Amino acid sequence: MKNKNRSTARAFVLPALITMVMIMIVPFLYAIYITMNDVNLLENGGKFVWAGLKNFKTFFSDSRALNSVVVSVKFLVGALLLETFFGIAVSTFLDRRFRFKGIVRALIIVPMFMTPVVSGLIWRAFFDPHAGIVSYIYQLIFHHKLDMLGSTSSALWALIIVDMWQWTPFMILLIMASLDGLSEDAVEAAKVEGASELQIITRVKIPMIKPTIYMAMMIRAIDALKIFDAIFVMTKGGPGSATETMNMYSYVVGFNFYRIGYATTISFIFTIVVTIVLSKLMQKNNSL
Amino acid sequence: MDLHQKRIIKRTIRRILFWLVLAVILMFFMAPLIWLVSTSFKNYIDAFAMPPKLVFKPTLENYISVFNKANFFNYMKNSIVCAVIPTAVGIILGVPCAYSIAMLKLKNPKNLSFFFLSARIAPPIMSLLPLYIIFSKIGIIGDKITIIIMYTLMCIPIVVWLMPVYFRELPIELREAARVDGCSEFRVFWNIVLPLVKGAVAATAIYCIITCWNEFLIALVLSNKTSQTLPVTVTSFMTFQGTQWGPLTAAGTIIMVPMLIFGFFIQKSFAKGLAGGAVKG
């Protein structure tokens, strides 16, 4: 009986597993081979020329590649901290009884289901220095023009704002759901002991929903590192390479310069580092 | 009496402040959608009037020009096909797999779920580059099937990752009782477990559809003029002569509205699947 149980278990897993191996692991192994070749689709018909570890050496001396690592990290840290902070702030602010709560929640989380390309285009229009509403409001207050996407110092911030707008709702959705599930007892007890509202939030509520916050941050980290759509339609990695993340850079090398060998090397390094770090973190916290 | 009045005033002020802050929050999250939809009904002159025109004469010209655009319905069909097929495959293969990981006695379920998790974490460009070479060697670049394969690669891990929570929630006695009655493991799954989680399966399927429908990078690289999906079509309104905001916002509205409706229906169960046991309700 036990054996039969195990064989059913296997039979349930195998189709998904085999499919994933075929379309993920096989290409991944092939990708490792590609990293050791010079492949340029524009020269001699994309023939593979053996290059050993040359692509990896190139990566570590390519200032544009190293810059893309920095941009990715900056974007990740900025977006993650802002989204977590505002996610907690808004959720705890809404954690009370009031009329239309359900509708308010449904409206707030609208951005996370919006097509990222389209929302990127909307924000591009908002940030337009001549006709955009962000620039218009800025000019009303500070009396000079604002061109966030056109300047190297602020373009990444503009992208972080857009990411925050789109994905803070994700945090809010998860945090509000777990706040709803909390038992009232601990909060009541704290109230009886005379804790202030802020103390109740920071000392009672937040510690209790920590696992959810942690989980939400992990998922956000995974997706913030992969961001492509908004960057592609808003800045294309510019101005200069101020907003060129690793993901964007390997796209440019691969599908604008057609240097597939080097592009694969960049995304290989990116994937290995990100996957190992994040999946270890997630496993450690038993969030599987 | 005086104290009582003070308390009422205090409470009213607090309430007004609450709704004011709430209005600002809602404005921030809703403004882009409101702008998109309203601009799609504006003519060229109204669209970029500053300050924005709140009252204007609505026009359908943008929608007409989108529907007159060559192939728009064809692209919509591509989007539907490229969302539905990978979702179906993801559900058919992923649900039994998730059930097995959650409930059955596998040798090392941890390693398996780690594998699917890493597939969720790895950026799509990692598979896209080698598959691009493989697809062009076989000669199917530009065919929808390439997009469908890549999207299946996204959907299976999503299903395997979201579903176990719902299985773990089922009472164990249910399964054991059926097993004692002599049901095979497969019959237990098919006749007893599956009907109990069909809501969760539907929500997960909808989430897969939204993910595929909104996807851009893979579609951009693998599609051509005939096989492109709607997110790629939207960017084609950005031309060298400038951006045609009218048709672009109309197309954007058409693309997004169905996904927003879907999103509205799955929000609760989605929160639960993601946050695992941490969320009740």
The answer to the question of residue A5 being in a domain is no
* Gap from B62 CA to chain A (nearest CA, Å): 16
Across all residues in chain A, what is the average pLDDT? Answer: 89
Q: Is the pLDDT of residue A287 over 60?
A: no
- For chain B, how many residues are written? 281
Percent of chain A with pLDDT over 70: 97
CATH number of residue A270's parent domain: 1.10.3720.10
- Residue position matching structure tokens 């990978």: B86
Question: Which pLDDT score, from 0 to 100, does residue A285 have?
Answer: 66
CA dihedral A188, A192, A198, A202 (to 10 degrees): -60
B189 touches chain A (CB under 8 A): yes
Question: Which pLDDT score, from 0 to 100, does residue B49 have?
Answer: 73
Q: Tell me what percent of chain B is helix, strand and coil, each rounded to the nearest 5.
A: 80, 0, 20
Q: Is the pLDDT of residue A135 over 90?
A: no
Question: Which pLDDT score, from 0 to 100, does residue B281 have?
Answer: 37
Question: Which pLDDT score, from 0 to 100, does residue B176 have?
Answer: 79
Q: Is the pLDDT of residue A172 over 90?
A: yes
Q: Which residues of B touch A23 (CB under 8 A)?
A: 127, 131, 149-150, 152-153
* Closest C-alpha to B112, from B122, B124, B99: B99
d(CA A127, CA A135): 6
d(CA B238, CA B243): 4
CB A19 within 8 A of CB B119: no
B119 touches chain A (CB under 8 A): yes
CA triple A288-B263-B19, angle to 5 deg: 105
Domain boundaries, given as residue ranges, for chain B: 1-30, 69-278
Q: Worst-scoring range by mean pLDDT, A132-136, A282-286, B239-243, B275-279?
A: B275-279
* Closest C-alpha to B104, from A1, A8, A14: A8
Q: Is the pLDDT of residue A249 over 90?
A: yes
* Gap from B9 CA to chain A (nearest CA, Å): 18
CA triple B41-B262-B89, angle to 5 deg: 125
Predicted ipTM? 0.89
d(CA A81, CA A87): 10
* Closest C-alpha to A8, from B214, B26, B72, B179: B179
CB B252 within 8 A of CB A118: yes
* Gap from B93 CA to chain A (nearest CA, Å): 5
Instruction: Report the SS3 class of residue A112.
Output: helix
Best residue of A82, A118, A168 to probe chain B, by most B CBs closer than 10 Å? A118
pTM across the whole model: 0.91
Over residues B47-86, the pLDDT tens digits come to 777 777 777 888 888 898 888 877 889 999 999 999 999 9
DSSP conformational letter for B181 = T
The answer to the question of residue A3 being in a domain is no
Cβ neighbours of A58 (radius 10 Å): 16
Question: Which pLDDT score, from 0 to 100, does residue B275 have?
Answer: 66
Q: Which residues of A touch B262 (CB under 8 A)?
A: 113
Cβ neighbours of B48 (radius 10 Å): 16
CATH class as words, domain B69-278: mainly alpha
d(CA A215, CA B101): 20
d(CA A138, CA A136): 5
Question: Which pLDDT score, from 0 to 100, does residue A286 have?
Answer: 57
**Mean pLDDT on A167-196:** 87
Asked if B101's CB is within 8 angstroms of A114's CB, the reply is: no
The answer to the question of residue A84 being in a domain is yes
Asked if A119's CB is within 8 angstroms of B32's CB, the reply is: yes
Q: What are phi and psi of B48, to 5 degrees?
A: -115, 25
Over residues B151-190, the pLDDT tens digits come to 999 999 999 988 988 888 888 888 778 777 878 888 888 8
Q: Which residues of B touch A222 (CB under 8 A)?
A: 120-121
A3 pLDDT band (50/70/90 cuts)?
A: low
Domains contained in chain A, number: 1
DSSP conformational letter for A49 = E
The answer to the question of residue A16 being in a domain is no
The pairing of beta strand B238-239 with beta strand B242-243: antiparallel
Radius of gyration (C-alpha) of chain B in whole angstroms: 25
Walk along chain B (281 residues) and give the pLDDT tens digit of each residue.
Answer: 678 888 899 989 999 999 999 999 999 999 999 999 999 998 877 777 777 777 788 888 889 888 887 788 999 999 999 999 999 999 999 999 999 988 887 777 778 888 888 888 889 999 999 999 999 889 898 899 999 999 999 999 999 988 988 888 888 888 778 777 878 888 888 888 899 999 899 999 999 999 999 999 999 999 988 899 999 999 988 877 778 888 899 999 999 999 999 998 888 787 777 766 544 43
Both tokens of residue A174?
A: 């998860």
Among A69-78, A183-192, A269-278, B192-201, which range has the highest average pLDDT? A69-78
The pairing of beta strand A49-50 with beta strand B238-239: unpaired
* Closest C-alpha to A228, from B267, B148, B249, B219: B219
The answer to the question of residue A245 being in a domain is yes
Burial B54-84 (b: 16+ CB within 10 A, else e): eebeeeeebbebbeeeeebeebbebbbbbbb
Peptide bond into B51 cis (omega under 30): yes
Over residues A75-128, the pLDDT tens digits come to 999 999 999 999 999 999 998 888 898 899 999 999 999 999 999 999 999 998
The answer to the question of residue A272 being in a domain is yes
For residue B47, give the chain A residue with the closest CA.
A131
Both tokens of residue A110?
A: 């609208």
CA triple A263-A233-B75, angle to 5 deg: 95
Instruction: Report the SS3 class of residue A7.
Output: helix
A37 touches chain B (CB under 8 A): no
A4 pLDDT band (50/70/90 cuts)?
A: low
A1 pLDDT band (50/70/90 cuts)?
A: very low
Best residue of B125, B134, B168, B215 to probe chain A, by most A CBs closer than 10 Å? B125
CA B39 to chain centre: 24
Higher per-residue confidence, A185 vs A227: A227
The answer to the question of residue A257 being in a domain is yes
Question: Which pLDDT score, from 0 to 100, does residue B24 have?
Answer: 95
- Side chain identity at residue A88, one-letter code: I
**Mean pLDDT on A138-159:** 88
In sequence order, the 6+-apart residues with CB closer than 8 A to the CB of B102 are: B109, B163, B164, B167, B168
- Residue position matching structure tokens 């705890």: A92
* Gap from B5 CA to chain A (nearest CA, Å): 22
**Mean pLDDT on A42-47:** 77
Domain membership of residue A245 as a residue range: 36-284
d(CA B83, CA B78): 8
In sequence order, the 6+-apart residues with CB closer than 8 A to the CB of A219 are: A170, B274
* Closest C-alpha to A267, from B170, B132, B143, B190: B132
Q: Is the pLDDT of residue A29 over 60?
A: yes
Helix (H) or strand (E) holding B62: helix B61-68
